[in-house]
């Protein structure tokens, strides 16, 4: 499951109920550690705005390259009809998913229920565990259950989702499906040492030349 503006937390919360995986479920969490301490080798990347943006753009590109068959994207109610065109979804992920002769056959967009983001406003000062519990409770409510059920309907258009892009194979015939990349599953518990061979808790920053992240799918 992909997402557009302000939908990161909602996508991570909703995805498991739809048997989907988000970009945050694939690689070790240590890669996103922005803590500016001497023992964090990722600190130089995350404290530099240009490097940080490149890092997340390439992470998104690598995740999009893993997609095969179909994919979904979560939008807020505000942007459901006209999603933002200036973010990573529109500029990096969608072009990769729809590229010529790619393995993705169709894309569906989902509209976040307007009641869901209200939880964030009500729980703005709550602890993360309390927020997770409240969101899980809402998804288990009658309104949440019905909303999730509607997202699973595979009709072209529903109140909460629609297929907005399909690949045209008629001109050249249907291409064989590519096998999905290995490792695309929820929260792969891969030690960071295996992702970054040179990783160790030291004073040395991880250099951009050593960006062996994201299964080497992206050519940095």
Beta-bridge mates of residue 73? 2, 109
pLDDT at 69: 93
User: Do residues 24 and 44 make contact, with C-beta atoms less than 8 angstroms apart?
Assistant: no
Beta-bridge mates of residue 106? 70, 166
Burial class (CB in 10 A: 0-12, 13-18, 19+), 184: middle
- 54-59's contacts with Cβ under 8 Å and 24+ in sequence apart are 54/208, 55/211, 55/213, 56/88, 57/88, 57/92, 58/211, 58/213, 58/214, 58/218, 58/220, 59/23, 59/27, 59/31, 59/213, 59/214
Helix boundaries (H) for the chain: 8-14, 43-46, 49-66, 88, 94-97, 115-122, 128-139, 142-151, 192-195
Give the start-to-end residue ranges of the domains of the chain. 2-168
CB count within 10 Å of CB 61 equals 18
Question: Which positions of the chain have pLDDT values less than 70?
Answer: 120-124, 171-204, 206-213, 215-220
Diameter of the chain measured on Cα atoms: 57
> Can you tell me whether residue 150 is helix, strand or coil?
helix
Tens-place pLDDT, residues 33-74 = 888 888 888 888 888 898 889 889 989 999 999 999 999 999
Taking the whole predicted model, whether its pTM rises above 0.85 is answered as no
pLDDT at 179: 43
């Amino acid at each position: 499951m992909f997402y557009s503006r302000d939908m990161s937390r909602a996508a991570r919360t909703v995805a498991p109920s739809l048997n989907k995986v988000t970009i945050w479920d694939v690689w070790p969490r240590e890669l996103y550690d922005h803590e500016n301490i001497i023992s964090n080798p990722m600190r130089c990347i995350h404290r530099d705005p240009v490097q940080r943006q490149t890092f997340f753009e390439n992470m998104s590109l690598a995740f999009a390259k893993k997609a095969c068959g179909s994919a979904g994207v979560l939008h807020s109610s505000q942007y459901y009809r006209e999603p933002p065109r200036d973010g990573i979804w529109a500029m990096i992920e969608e072009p990769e998913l729809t590229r010529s002769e790619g393995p993705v056959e169709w894309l569906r967009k989902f509209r976040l229920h307007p009641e869901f983001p209200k939880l964030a406003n009500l729980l703005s000062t709550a602890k993360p565990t309390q927020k997770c519990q409240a969101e899980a409770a809402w998804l288990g409510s009658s309104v949440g259950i019905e909303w999730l059920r509607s997202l699973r309907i595979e009709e072209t258009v529903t109140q909460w989702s629609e297929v907005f892009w399909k690949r045209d194979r008629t001109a050249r015939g249907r291409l064989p499906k590519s096998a999905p990349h290995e490792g695309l599953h929820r929260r792969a518990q891969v030690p960071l040492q295996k992702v970054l061979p040179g990783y160790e808790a030291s004073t040395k920053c991880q250099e951009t030349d050593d960006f062996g992240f994201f299964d080497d799918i992206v050519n940095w």
